[in-house]
Amino acid sequence: MEFDNAIFQLAEKLQRTLQFIPDEKKLRCEEIRLRSGLPVCLTVDGNVVFVCRDSTVKNVLPQNPLIATKDDIEQTLSRLCNKSVYMHEEEIKQGFVALNNGCRAGVCGMFNAEGMLVSVTSINIRIARQVPDCARDLLPHTQKGLLIAGPPGCGKTTILRDTVRLLSNGVAGNYYRVAVIDSRGEISGGGALDIGPNTDVLYTRNKASGTQIALRTLYPDYIVFDEIGTNEELLSVCDCFNAGVRVITTAHVNDLCDVTRRNVTKGIISSGAIEKVALISNKKVLKIIDVKELFLGAAI
């Protein structure tokens, strides 16, 4: 079970309690939140719930909450980093630790002027799950560039991952060559998740250089990556478009109007690399729109 894999690297006290919470909560859990000196929380179906010391789960703050101590937080960070926080300092500067099972741990605390973590105060573990065939409705819309958009935690990466698997597996009519630029190990799970037999993965935090390597050496039909955030990455997307390679990526937005307001998403669309935008909620496709209609205000 994904939940049990996610808690394997928590502090021992927390792990002992969390392993016995009800299975139906484990199956629907999206996040595990640890804050120093405060109750341990889970996000289940988008809602916050609290873990009790007896492994029960409550929708309101209980009298006997499981508390994450400062030592628990520090021990958990050490375990997440395989006892070498130093080896993960570049990731931590960006506020996360990528885990081998495709999960990601967000890290908060005190950072110095050089961006180094001085003390950790909270950790949020996002649980990676595969939802087979959740992207089937997108396949007819992948013949040109596709932007998968939605708010944080709505399942964009889950749907992106399944899109890769389906394209690589021949479900879309051909066994497409897919190059995944996996900057945080979340799409492929470091090789632990199924993303198809015809997929190459480049593990690099620099999506721009990863894209250029893929174009020069892998000759893919598709290049796939999570949200871009720099102009350099945007230029690489344009290079893909000019080279005839289709791009599939994601964007954090609240609604379709935000797509045209944000500079990066507006830039991707203006480049011509994206033809369709898919609005996502709760790991489901709500709406697919042609970018021409989006800019004309004719969203359907």
pTM: 0.83
Confidence bin at 300 (pLDDT 50/70/90): very low
Strand partners, 246: 222
The domains of the chain are located at 2-126, 136-296
Q: Is the pLDDT of residue 298 over 70?
A: no
What does the block give as tokens for 12? 């021992």
The stretch 176-205 carries a mean pLDDT of: 90
The region that residue 221 occupies, defined by phi over 0 for left and psi between -120 and 50 for alpha, beta otherwise, is alpha
> What gap in Å lies between CA 283 and CA 161, rounded to an integer?
11
Across the chain, the runs of DSSP E, i.e. the strands, are: 29-35, 38-39, 41-44, 47-51, 57-58, 67-68, 96-98, 104-111, 117-126, 146-150, 178-181, 199-202, 222-225, 246-252, 276-281, 284-290
With 80 as the cut, is the pLDDT of residue 157 above it? yes
Domain at 2-126: CATH code: 3.30.450
What b/e string do you get for 85-121 counting C-beta neighbours within 10 Å, with b at 16 or more? beebeebbeebbbbbebbbbbebebeeeeeeebeebe
Q: Helix, strand, or coil here: 28?
A: helix
The confidence score (pLDDT) of residue 67 equals 98
Please state, rounded to an integer, the average pLDDT across all residues of the chain. 89
Type of residue found at 69: T
CB 219 within 8 A of CB 254: no
Q: Percentage of the chain surpassing pLDDT 70?
A: 98
Cα separations in angstroms, 121 against 14, 78, 185: 16, 13, 24
pLDDT at 295: 63
Query: Range with the lowest mean pLDDT among 39-48, 74-83, 241-250?
Result: 241-250
Quickly tell me which residue has 């066994």 as its tokens: 175
Identify the pLDDT of residue 14: 97
What is the reported pLDDT for 86?
84
pLDDT of residue 296: 63
Round to the nearest angstrom and report the end-to-end CA distance of the chain.
38
pLDDT value for 272: 83
Superfamily designation of domain 136-296: P-loop containing nucleotide triphosphate hydrolases (3.40.50.300)
